[in-house]
Structure 1
């Protein structure tokens, strides 16, 4: 068996295991293929070969128009949203040392929802409103709401350190508050704007355009490298505060930084496509089992999150009985049994 390799960048160092690299590579290849298939689906079907040829500069003018003007934004948004959610979920589950910790359960998603829906119902059209909010738009309002929720989560959970069980309980409470605030905003807003916000709440990729692609991919391009660099401390945090301090890690600062990064990633994803639930919950655990590591792999979770989201969108579009179903509804339907399974397994582990 090939030995793990250590990659260093200044004071940071990462151990890259061959199995981790293999899983990430295969997932990336699968992502490209599923994304190409997803781009080809529509009223005018375009075959996989023609999609790939067009993406690499070939294809007819008609195919280029359909792919780049109409279909590419949806798939790129799905990739960005899924990658951000997968990475965010891996961070939260490692920080809390709890497989139930994810931004949709801990209140981050609904915190972002409060910000985004607040902008939409205030008179938003295409993510912009008049007055002061015109400088924010849905993406920045969602980011602000998610980060504020993350700060509240950390502040309310910290008692001489972070306990995973307490973090989850307070997160559930914050999620309930955010959820009810969102629906209160719907009742006080204009009917047309509330209808737009309702479409956003179910987590739909149907109407996204290039205006949605830019913010999520730009935020991911900034936050993902910072997270992967800061994530070199995750291995130490996984074994508890005392062990981490013994390894020279400033535990509170590291955990707070990672929590805010996770909150920002989840907020950006939510602002782009609405609450697509359970991707952040399930992806890190899937990656963990594929890689067979001590904690969810960050990069692997990011790639698998993108694959899971694009795959869910593909299933919705090719299955006649699911036609028109928002991708967020499908992930919720599939994720609910998985959440029950995690609860049962956690109870069994506690008794053991």
Structure 2
């Protein structure tokens, strides 16, 4: 499922996808396979959400979860579902979707499968901002979230400016991002050595990435951010496809390349930092989700919506595994995504090397 200003011409005499006109001159081009994959992912996200809401010390059957969400549950179920577990699941969905879409944007802009916030250092920028608030200013949860947001934005803009040289080129952006990541990791380690025991423990919990204890205070800001930035990114889908083909081709069809690239990168940076502010630096979701979505849809362009749905599904499944797969020990979800993402990254590097692209 992609958003474009006009449909592609049909190939081989077959009827191409039909556009559905939306306000603002945008049309929604529905490809059968992408539509099917998107619908399947949406069903899986909803099913995983219901399963995860029912998971905990007090298990609730899926049907009872649905009845409670519809307002027909018992008082005990309503308290557990609506007050304790639903906010955590909604944060997981929004964080995963934000990271999935941001990863799709970065990989398309850099034209590199390794071009994700994890590799480019934006997550580490958020971590530095959060740790500065924790270690130096002893701030609360709200101040830590603001610090993470500011740190991620500053790191993202710094990487963009350092990588800019008559435009942004994929491998230069990745290399600058890797260098920035190494420097930010050093800052994080320095701050941890200067922290008191209580502050260092709190910082390590945040750095791992977790959905535990999330409530409606994290849901609403993240929901508002996604509601604003998702349509903005989707509205630039056609331009993003043209940029993937190269700057010259994009200029030839009237795309204002640098302006569009900067707009998309700022939107993706804000999505990444908002996700980090809500749940900490969840690793590898932004790297793996767009790639998996693209392989499922077999789409040559950026899989923005399917990437977002895949990110939400990956994070929900990882959160369920963190609660159930390790016995009585519940792990932060960032540990599980790091384990799965590390294996995926190794596989991706081997595949790209065999293909001669790295």
For residues 172-251 of structure 1, the aligned pairs below 5 Å read 172-251=178-257
1:131 aligns to what? none
Q: CA deviation at 1:187?
A: 2.4
* SS of the residue 2:167 aligns to: coil
Change (3 A) 1:103 1:322: farther
Q: CA deviation at 1:351?
A: 6.5
What is the distance in 2 between the residues matched to 1:181 and 1:199?
A: 17
1:160 aligns to what? 166
* SS of the residue 2:275 aligns to: helix
For residues 1-352 of structure 1, the aligned pairs below 5 Å read 3-8=16-21, 9-124=23-138, 126-128=140-142, 137-321=143-327, 323-350=329-356
* SS of the residue 1:208 aligns to: coil
What is the distance in 2 between the residues matched to 1:216 and 1:190?
A: 30
Change (3 A) 1:229 1:201: same
What is the distance in 2 between the residues matched to 1:289 and 1:39?
A: 29
What is the distance in 2 between the residues matched to 1:271 and 1:240?
A: 33
What is the distance in 1 between the residues matched to 2:183 and 2:167?
A: 24
Q: CA deviation at 1:293?
A: 0.6
1:132 aligns to what? none
Change (3 A) 1:241 1:20: same
Q: How many residues align?
A: 344
What is the distance in 2 between the residues matched to 1:126 and 1:40?
A: 30
What is the distance in 1 between the residues matched to 2:147 and 2:171?
A: 29
Q: CA deviation at 1:161?
A: 1.6
Change (3 A) 1:278 1:65: same
What is the distance in 2 between the residues matched to 1:351 and 1:281?
A: 17
Q: Is the 8 A contact 2:324 2:330 kept in 1?
A: no
What is the distance in 2 between the residues matched to 1:320 and 1:346?
A: 33
When structure 1 is superposed on structure 2, of 309-318 and 8-17 the one drifting more is: 8-17
Q: Is the 8 A contact 2:241 2:301 kept in 1?
A: yes
What is the distance in 2 between the residues matched to 1:11 and 1:179?
A: 44
TM-score, length-normalised on structure 2?
0.91
* SS of the residue 1:320 aligns to: coil
What is the distance in 2 between the residues matched to 1:189 and 1:147?
A: 24
TM-score, length-normalised on structure 1?
0.93
* Residue ranges of structure 1 left out of the alignment (5+ in a row): 129-136
What is the distance in 1 between the residues matched to 2:351 and 2:28?
A: 30
Q: Is the 8 A contact 1:2 1:18 kept in 2?
A: no
* SS of the residue 2:119 aligns to: coil
Q: Is the 8 A contact 1:153 1:167 kept in 2?
A: yes
Q: CA deviation at 1:272?
A: 1.0
Q: Is the 8 A contact 1:202 1:328 kept in 2?
A: yes
Q: CA deviation at 1:348?
A: 2.4
